[in-house]
Amino acid sequence: MKWTAAKIRALKGERKVAMLTAYDALTGSLVDGAELPMVLVGDSLGMTVLGYETTLPVGMDEMLHHTAAVSRGVTQALVVADMPFMSYQPSIEMGLVNAGRFLKEAAADAVKIEGGALRAELIEALVANGIPVLGHIGLTPQSIKEMGGYKVQGKTSEQARQLMDDAMAIEQAGAFALVLECVPAELGELISKALTIPTIGIGAGAGCDGQVLVFTDLLGMSGKPVPKFVKKQADLNPIMTQALAAYRNEVESGSFPSAEQEY
Ligand code: KIV
């Protein structure tokens, strides 16, 4: 069964939603094979795969290239493409054109947009034109320069009220679900209870309707520390490094290839 935005929305109150990022056909097919209903081609691509320091340098060409690859590896999961920094902020028209490119050129099923009430008009325009939208509030990495770092958001009652208003505005604008990143668990639960669409938390506690994590964090691939909200399900970096070093040793010692690998 191919997942649609409407089917994801209908999971609210029925079952928790597990979402993971993917960046190419291989990682997409792994997520799809594990039967997760949603895969996010996150602009975290910039740090996890492309070697940038932040998500800010990631552009449309890179996101289209990697989203198309994920779509080729996925048959069932809903493929959500992250709209990169400055692909939608300048105008509604620019957001519409670029979101449309993800569906037309990269076979995405939906797009994700960072920001609260400020993005309501764009979300309405996208949904009215047939483009499902996943909202994203709380810690929004494209605003990292303005936020002053990767910090928990919504800690004061004023900030918490603002985030609640943002969440309501995004639901009203027609988003099918909302990512809540790095907010206190209590606020994550309050917002989840107030909305009729699923909340997908990342560092937003167990009260959310679903969870999303970064593929390479979940599997311990980078060898670097991961944020507190990640629970690693594997530690692949040392295993991969060991395998690569074993290969190097065997080539250097002449024990690979052996007769078994020869024609
Ligand atoms: O880019 C990304 O991977 C994200 C998720 C962490 C929500 O935005």
Could you read off the pLDDT of 143-184 as tens digits, one per residue?
A: 999 999 999 999 999 999 999 999 999 999 999 999 999 999
Probe target for ligand 1 pocket from 214, 217, 222, 230, with the most ligand atoms within 8 Å of CB: 214
Tens of pLDDT along 87-131?
A: 999 999 999 999 999 999 999 999 999 999 999 999 999 999 999
Distance 183 CA to ligand 1 centre (A): 15
**Residue 134 confidence class, pLDDT cut points 50, 70, 90:** very high
Coarse DSSP helix, strand, coil percentages of the chain, rounded to the nearest 5 percent: 45, 15, 40
* Helix residue ranges, H only, 3-91: 5-9, 25-33, 45-48, 60-73
* Share above pLDDT 90 across residues of the chain, in percent, rounded to a whole number: 100
d(C-alpha 201, C-alpha 14), whole Å: 17
69 pLDDT tier (thresholds 50, 70, 90): very high
Q: Catalytic residues, which ones?
A: 181
Please, where are the H alpha helices in the chain? Answer: 5-9, 25-33, 45-48, 60-73, 92-106, 120-128, 144-147, 157-173, 185-194, 215-218, 236-253
Residue 82 alpha carbon to ligand 1 centre in Å: 8
Its pTM stands at 0.98
The pLDDT, as a whole number, for residue 11 is 98
pLDDT on residue 239: 98
Q: Domains in the chain, please, with CATH?
A: 5-232 (3.20.20.60), 237-263 (no CATH)
- Protein residue with its CA nearest to atom 3 in ligand 1: 42
Segment 205-233, tens digit of pLDDT: 999 999 999 999 999 999 999 999 999 99
**DSSP-derived pairing of the beta strands 199-202 and 177-181:** parallel
* Distance between CA atoms of residues 137 and 10, nearest Å: 21
